[in-house]
A = this chain, B = another copy of it.
Amino acid sequence: MQVDSHPFDAAIRLAPQGSNRFRGTTASAYANMVGPFGGITCAVLLQAVLTHEQRQGDPIAITVNFAAPIADGSFDIEAIPARTNRSTQHWVVQLEQQDAIAATATVALAVRRDTWGAPEAVPPSGIPPASTLARVPLSGVPAWVRSYDLRFAEVAVPAAFGGREQPHSRSEMWVRDEPPRPLDFPALAAICDSFFPRIFLRRRAFVPVGTVSLTTFFHADAAMLSRQSDRHVLGVARAMNFRNGFFDQSAEIWSDDGALLASSHQIVYYRE
């Protein structure tokens, strides 16, 4: 499938609306229970920066604050280059609907250089290849889950839900766009939010949740993403703490040859 005709590209397509402004439309392929999947919102906010004529460099960090529900339909994005340095560029971005702010974001771009480097975290070991695992069941899932090929290494979520709490919320999964699409920065930003909320795993039950703030750091350069192409990447997610209506969730995305592509951290509202 050509990149341009992929549903992901349709979902993040933006029409320039003059200086620093873009118009987009929510896509049914990435709908969540209410409004769009958070990952596609991250991707389209990043896309505004990446297609801006003043863009300089590739993504290092993005933070998205989900300020209000996003309604199905059109939205406007304003992307302002706040500061451009020799090797980094900082952006302030917001998404608006009906003249109200629905999401805010900051993006840092940079020109990467050859330097000393070293991995420190190690990828999960003993995870069976994606080809040997079943795709997550699609019965009853929101549309966005069908736009990914998710294969769980440890537990079939949400098949085994029974309301009995388990002592941890860690999970590992293989994930790629469905249909397959070569990995790039917007797709990686979206994949960082493709994990089921950790409270579902911990409590083995569905409760109302909503991400408040999500930060992703991009460890990979464009060449690494290009080498990964459209094969499954390996995702790991866990939480550290659930308290007073908020929990955190940290995720890592690894290439299928064991390199860290992105790490991502979010704080999520929950109700019970």
Contacts and interface: CB of A to CB of B under 8 A. Distances in A.
A9 interface: no
Contact of A242 (B65, B113, B118, B263): B118
A212 B110 contact: yes
Given A104-B106, A120-B239, A241-B260, A213 B272 contact: no
Interface stretch (A13-21, A138-146, A172-180, A245-253): A245-253
B60 A212 contact: yes
B101 A83 contact: yes
Interface residues of A, number: 63
Interface in A52-88: 60-61, 63, 65, 67-68, 82-83, 85, 87-88
Contacts of A100: 83
A92 interface: yes
B212 A169 contact: no
A98 interface: no
A43 to B, nearest CB: 18
B92 A68 contact: no
A41 interface: no
Given A63-B63, A212-B61, A68 B83 contact: yes
B88 A269 contact: yes
A164 interface: no
A244 B212 contact: no
Contacts of A112: 244-246
A245 B270 CA distance: 37
Nearest to A68: B83
Nearest to A252: B240
Number of chain copies forming the complex:
2
A110 to B, nearest CB: 7
Contacts of A120: 168-169, 202, 238-242
A162 interface: no
A161 B168 CA distance: 38
Nearest to A88: B212
Nearest 8 pairs between A and B by C-beta?
Answer: A121-B240, A67-B83, A112-B244, A61-B213, A67-B90, A63-B63, A117-B243, A215-B215
Interface of A: 60-61, 63, 65, 67-68, 82-83, 85, 87-88, 90, 92, 94, 100-102, 104-106, 108, 110, 112-121, 165, 168-169, 202-203, 212-213, 215, 217, 219, 221, 238-246, 248, 250, 252, 260, 263, 265, 267, 269-272
25 contacts: A61-B267, A63-B63, A65-B106, A82-B94, A87-B269, A90-B101, A90-B104, A92-B104, A105-B106, A110-B245, A112-B244, A112-B245, A113-B245, A115-B244, A115-B270, A115-B271, A116-B203, A117-B244, A215-B265, A217-B248, A217-B265, A217-B267, A219-B248, A240-B252, A248-B263
